[in-house]
Each structure stands twice: as structure tokens, then as C-alpha cells.
Amino acid sequence: MEVRVLDTSDEMGQAAAELFAQRIEGKPDVVLGLATGSTPLKMYDALVRLYEQGKLDFSHVVSFNLDEYVGLPTNHDQGYRYFMDKNLFDKVNIAKENTHLPDGMASDLAAMCAAYEEAIKDAGGIDIQLLGIGGNGHVAFNEPGSGKESRTRVVDLTSETIRDNSRFFKDESEVPRQAVTMGIGSMMEAREIVLIADGADKAEAIAKALEGEITAAVPASFLREHPNCTFLLEREAASRLSPGALESGYGAGWGTIGVSNPRHPSRGGLNFVLRFSGRKPK
């Protein structure tokens, strides 16, 4: 587990883009797991810039998105296919047939979910999975209560998520009540996971995910059990991490340090590395 705290959300987006760019360079037919929401926008912008500069080739890249609302027509401007086309796919040379999102309009949603999992397997599995985090600790649409073994399925959105996402719709009543999401079990099969978060409204969820119990009440906490997971945090999003961990970071100067989780000092797997850059968080 590695946690990097970056000074600004621009730097967070840049760091995430650099990681993804390295994986694309290292394996031109890499299978990416992608996410929507406001947090990934800076990363997608940075990837588009690298493509425009001739530094990145998406022609063999394959992608699978995490989730999609149920019942929004494919071309709806709040649908996730529309989001991905607009913010990434239409701006780079990825082959559209290599890009996959769950179909929230499928007449048999359960069959579509099973086929989605199969398609990921057939593609060889996800090499690197991008995740955001909800204010309630959700990852993709795995709301609190989602189990570690959960698979791609239809879920009911919590009132908190409906409220959070209503900023993208005319009003809250327009936000779909259900979504299709990859499960925790599905995403934990990715070879590498990168979670990005910015803003103070993510700080509590981040603190619980990294330093609280590993529990379905905070689905992002399960990521601590993944063998190759990095959290890239803008400093406000990191501001509720325990003072002990953060202060030892400051005391050591800016750089990379190993920190054991004070609540679970004996559990080696829970140790994480904090890397700081830029100014000290407030």
C-alpha cells in the first residue's frame, strides 16, 4: 500500500496520468479500468495532452469502466458513456470497440452483468484500475454494506450519493435511483489499483479507509488488502489522516517514509508509505 499526498489537485491528476501513461508505454495493449466523476477529469486532461504531444498511443489500449446508471439512454449527457467519450475517448486514438461500459439500458441486467465480468476475463483481466471515492467511502457504486466478494451487479444508490450526484442533474429527482457497478471482488482482481481523491469532503472517508477498520461499512477500506494499491491524495483529502502518521512525515522532512498504521501496528500488510510533496498541509 502506498499513499502519496500531493499539494494540489492538478498535481494529483498529473501523478495519476503519469502512472497510467507508464503502464500504457510498458504494455501497448494494456487493459485499463476507468472511472467517471469530477476527480478523474484532471488525469484525463493530462493523458489527452500526452497524446496530443505524440507521447502516448492508445490504439491498442482496452478499457472497462466501473459503472453506469440504470435507465439513462446511452447518449444522455449524464450517462457515463457520454462522459468517457467527451473527456477521453473522443480526444485520443483509442478504438471505440475496445472501450466497454456496463449497459444500464439492458433488458436483462443480471445477464449483462455476468457478460461484463466474462468480457473482462476474456480480455485477460484489468492491469490497472482507477478509482475515486465517495464521501461515504464508496468505491464505484459499491455503497456502504457492499461485501468484499461482491461482483458486478445492480445496486440501489444511497440518499447521500443521490444528493452528491444531483449537482450534475437539473434537480435531485432526475438522478437515477439504481446503477450497475463492478463489485469489490471484481475490482480487487485488477493487478494494480490507483485511488485518487481531492477536497476536504473526502478527508473523512480517506481517513476511515486507511486507518479505520476494514469493513463493508467503508468499502474503500478493503483496498488495504490489495497487494498493489496506491492512493494519490490532494492534501485537503489527506487532512484527516492521523496526526501521528502525518507528523512523522513532516518530522522526516518531505520525502518517502514508511509508516505503520498506529491502530494495527502488528499487521504488516497495513503499513503504508506516505510520500509528501509541496507545502505542508494545514
| Number of Cβ atoms within 10 Å of the Cβ of 213 | 11
What is the Cα–Cα distance from 221 to 216, expressed in whole angstroms? 8
Q: Which residues pair with 100 in a beta bridge?
A: 64
Active site residue 117: no
Q: Are 145 and 181 in contact (CB under 8 A)?
A: no
Q: Counting contacts by CB under 6 A, is residue 33 touching ligand PGA? A: no
Q: Is 37 in the site for ligand PGA (CB under 6 A)?
A: yes
Query: Of the listed pieces 31-39, 78-86, 212-220, 267-275, which binds ligand PGA according to CB under 6 A?
Result: 31-39
Indicate the residue among 127 and 234 with the shorter CB distance to ligand PGA. Answer: 234
Strands, E, within the chain: which ranges?
Answer: 2-6, 31-34, 62-65, 67-69, 99-100, 128-131, 153-156, 178-181, 192-197, 229-234, 256-259, 272-276
Is residue 134 a contact point for ligand PGA (CB under 6 A)? yes
Catalytic choice (11, 117, 127, 136) = 136
CB of 67 to ligand PGA, least distance (A): 9
Pairing of strands 256-259, 272-276: antiparallel
Catalytic residue status for 136: yes
Q: Does 39 bind ligand PGA (CB under 6 A)?
A: yes
67 labelled catalytic: yes
Say which of 11, 117, 127, 143 is annotated catalytic.
143
Catalytic one among 11, 98, 100, 138? 138
Question: What is the Cα–Cα distance from 227 to 5, expressed in whole angstroms?
Answer: 20
Binding interface with ligand PGA (CB under 6 A): 37-39, 132-134
Residues marked active site are found at 67, 136, 138, 143
